[in-house]
Structure 1
Amino acid sequence: MARRAGLTTRVASNPWHAGLVKDGISEEQQRLLSSWLGPFEVISDHSWPMQDTTVLQLGTPDGGRYIVKASQTSHHIRREIAAYSRGMPGLEGRVPSLVHASTDARLLVTRFLPGILVAGSPAEHVPDTYRQAGALLARLHSPAGVSRSYMRSLAARTRAVIGKAQGLLAGGLVRRLTEEVAAVELSPVELVTSHGDYQPRNWLYDDGEVKVIDFGRADLRPWVHDLVRLTHQQFLADAALAAAFQEGLGRAVTNPEEASAWRLENLDQAVGTVVWAHSIGDESFEQQGVAMVERVLTMA
Structure 2
Amino acid sequence: MTSDLPGLDGVQHELVTSWFGAVRLVADHSRGPGDAAVLRLRAEDGTDVALKASGPADHHLDREIVAHRTLLAPLVPGGRVPRLLHADRERHLLATAWLPGDLVEGGAAEREPDTYRQAGELLACLHALGTRVDGDWEAAQDARAMRWLDSPHRIDVATTEQLRAVVAAHAHPPVRVVPTHGDFHPRSWVVEDGVVRVIDFGRAGWRAPCTDFARLHRQQLAGREDLASAFAAGYGGDPRTGDVWRRTLVRVAIGTAVWAYQVGDAAFEAHGHRLIRAALAQVG
TM-score with structure 2 setting the length: 0.93
Structure 1 gap ranges (5+): 1-16
Which of 63, 67, 78 in structure 1 is aligned with 2:62?
78
Cα pair 2:256 2:269 within 8 Å, conserved: yes
Q: CA deviation at 1:19?
A: 5.5
Alignment of 1:171-250 (within 5 A): 171-250=157-236
Partner amino acid, structure 1, of 2:134 = S
In structure 1, the residue matched to 2:130 is: 143
Cα distance in 2, alignment partners of residues 26 and 107 from structure 1: 11
Alpha-carbon distance between aligned partners in 1 of 2:196 and 2:141, rounded to the nearest angstrom: 31
Q: Say if 2:16 is the partner of 1:33.
A: yes
Once the two structures are TM-superposed, the CA of residue 218 in structure 1 deviates from its matched residue by 0.6
1:266 CA displacement: 1.4
4+ long deviations beyond 4 Å: none
SS in 2 for 1:237: coil
Deviation digits for residues 33-55 of structure 1, max 9, x if unmatched?
Answer: 11000000011100112442110
> What SS does structure 2 have at the residue aligned with 1:52?
coil
Aligned residues: 279
Q: Are residues 29 and 19 of structure 1, via their aligned partners in 2, closer, same or farther at CA, if it must alter by over 3 Å?
A: farther
Partner amino acid, structure 2, of 1:242: A
Question: What amino acid does structure 2 have at the position aligned with 1:285?
Answer: F
**CA-CA distance at 1:61 after TM superposition:** 3.1
**In the TM superposition, what is the alpha-carbon distance from 1:143 to its structure 2 partner?**
2.3
Contact 2:21/2:44, CA 8 A, preserved across alignment: no
Contact 1:58–1:67, Cα closer than 8 Å, also in 2: yes
Of 94, 117, 124 in structure 2, the residue corresponding to residue 131 of structure 1 is: 117
Check conservation: 1:101, 1:107, Cα contact below 8 A.
yes
| Counterpart-to-counterpart distance in 2, 1:50 and 1:126 | 33
Whole-angstrom distance in 2 between the partners of 1:51 and 1:295: 31
d(CA) in 2 for partners of 1:19, 1:111: 19
Contact 1:165 1:174 in 2 (8 A): no
Aligned amino acid, residue 279 of structure 1: Q
Q: Does the CA contact (< 8 Å) of 1:165 and 1:271 recur in 2? A: no
In the TM superposition, residue 56 of structure 1 has moved relative to its aligned partner by 0.4
The match for 1:164 among 151, 157, 174 is 151
Equivalent pair of 2:65/2:94 in contact (CA under 8 Å)? yes
What SS does the corresponding residue of 1:99 show, helix, strand or coil? strand
Q: 1:269 aligns with which of 243, 252, 257?
A: 252
Measured in 1, the distance between the counterparts of 2:207 and 2:47 equals: 34
2:91 partner SS: coil
After TM superposition, give the deviation of residue 18 of structure 1 in Å. 3.0
Shift in Å, 1:165 = 5.5
Secondary structure of 1:58's partner?
Answer: strand
Return the alpha-carbon distance in structure 2 between the equivalents of residues 49 and 112 of structure 1: 20
Distance 1:80 1:151, change over 3 A: same
Provide the residue aligned with 1:48 in structure 2: 31
Could you say what secondary structure the match of 2:182 adopts? coil
Q: Report the residue type matching 2:58 in the other structure.
A: S
Instruction: List per-residue Cα deviations over 1:38-93 (Å, max 9, x = no partner).
Output: 00001110011244211000012322100100001211111111111223324530
**Contact persistence 2:28–2:40 (CA under 8 A):** yes
What secondary structure is seen at the aligned counterpart in 2 of 1:230?
A: helix
Is 2:3–2:25's contact at 8 Å kept on the other side of the alignment? no
Counterpart CA distance in 2 for 1:163 and 1:19 is 45
Q: Which residue of 1 aligns with 2:141?
A: 154
In the alignment, residue 166 of structure 2 is paired with which amino acid? E
| Greater mean deviation of Cα atoms: 60-69 or 125-134 | 60-69
TM-superposed CA distance for 1:260, in Å, is 3.1
Give the Cα separation in 1 of the matches to 2:221 and 2:152: 26
* Equivalent-residue separation in structure 2 for 1:116 and 1:172 (angstroms): 43
What is the distance in 1 between the residues matched to 2:200 and 2:5?
A: 24
Q: Could you state the TM-score of these two structures normalised by the residue count of structure 1?
A: 0.89
